[in-house]
Amino acid sequence: MAEVVIVETPDAAGEVAADEIEQLVRSNPRAVLGLATGSTPLTTWRALAARKLDLTQVRGFALDEYVGLPVGHPESYRSVISREVVEPLGLTPSLVRVPADSGPIETAGVDYEAAITAAGGVDLQVLGIGSTGHIGFNEPGSSFASLTRVKTLTEQTRRDNARFFDSPDDVPVHCITQGLGTIMRARHLVLLAFGAGKAAALAGAVEGPVTASLPGSAIQLHARVTVIVDEAAASQLAYADYYRYAWANRLDWEKL
Ligand code: GLP
């Protein structure tokens, strides 16, 4: 079962996620982080930046990227990762990859998988969850064995992400995303979710049937998952009281 940590606010969640990342990086300064975009991980990046750790040797792999945006577009995930993660955390730009950041799109998925493998795999993957239940950009129906590949976004996800663009029509139709199989190979998954709008998708991911119809439910098949959520996102969890009880009673050696 995933460890589910329910906290009051997104800021508090960011501190818990930053604790996990700090512990990893202190034990391995060359750790490989899986980096997520979206609004959800922002409190994690902020909490981590405030700790002023030396992260210059950390390697990073972004989860996903839009296909079809001009190079340098401010909402390309390459730009977002540079602005919100690489710069504030002091990562080394050349050590951070984003899907399709070099070479032709046709082979970008295979190239990305090879790069992750060459780095020794992802140690800790930060994840948000979309309202469709997607992780990365793995929309409903994605194979649990899928690897990095080009996908078509659902209309719902395009609507959800329209807030970042001048017009809903500007949201790309296609993306390239690590697959569910790629994500499942990471050694530790840290999934964050905030707000009532994520409550149904989160409950499905953590407690619902394991199904490609809710891609986030793949996390139930992973041996090491930390789910960190605020009260609103936790509101549809059937076992919320048990998760709170387990967290309050964690053993000393489990505390970071
Ligand atoms: C986006 C990203 C996901 C992200 C999710 C939630 O489309 N591709 O990686 O987790 O949707 O976004 P947000 O955190 O902004 O709610």
Burial class of residue 59 (count of CB atoms within 10 Å of its CB; 0-12, 13-18, 19+): buried
Relative to the CA of 131, which ligand 1 atom is closest?
Answer: 6
- Ligand 1 centroid from CA 40, angstroms: 7
Q: How far is CA 196 from CA 184, 224, 256, in A?
A: 26, 25, 28
d(CA 228, CA 8): 10
- Ligand 1 centroid from CA 160, angstroms: 9
Relative to the CA of 64, which ligand 1 atom is closest?
Answer: 8
For residues 8-21, average pLDDT: 98
- Ligand 1 centroid from CA 83, angstroms: 16
pLDDT higher than threshold 90 for residue 189 = yes
pLDDT given for residue 19 in this prediction: 97
- Ligand 1 centroid from CA 251, angstroms: 33
Share of the chain above pLDDT 90, in %: 95
pTM attached to this predicted model? 0.96
The confidence band for 2, taking pLDDT boundaries of 50, 70 and 90, is: confident
Pocket of ligand 1 (CB under 6 A): 36-40, 63-64, 128-130, 136-137, 157, 161
Relative to the CA of 136, which ligand 1 atom is closest?
Answer: 9
pLDDT given for residue 188 in this prediction: 98
For residues 214-219, average pLDDT: 98
Relative to the CA of 161, which ligand 1 atom is closest?
Answer: 7
* Coil/strand/helix, residue 138: strand
- Ligand 1 centroid from CA 246, angstroms: 28
- State the Cα angle at 124 between 252 and 79, rounded to 5°: 135
- Ligand 1 centroid from CA 127, angstroms: 8
| Domains, the chain | 3-249 (3.40.50.1360)
pLDDT given for residue 252 in this prediction: 81
Relative to the CA of 40, which ligand 1 atom is closest?
Answer: 14
For residues 40-60, average pLDDT: 98
pLDDT given for residue 256 in this prediction: 72
Token readout for 135 is 């992780």
Going by CA atoms, what residue is nearest to atom 1 of ligand 1?
A: 38
Contact between residue 65 and residue 32 where contact means Cβ atoms under 8 Å apart: no
> pLDDT tens for residues 147-168?
999 999 999 999 999 999 999 9
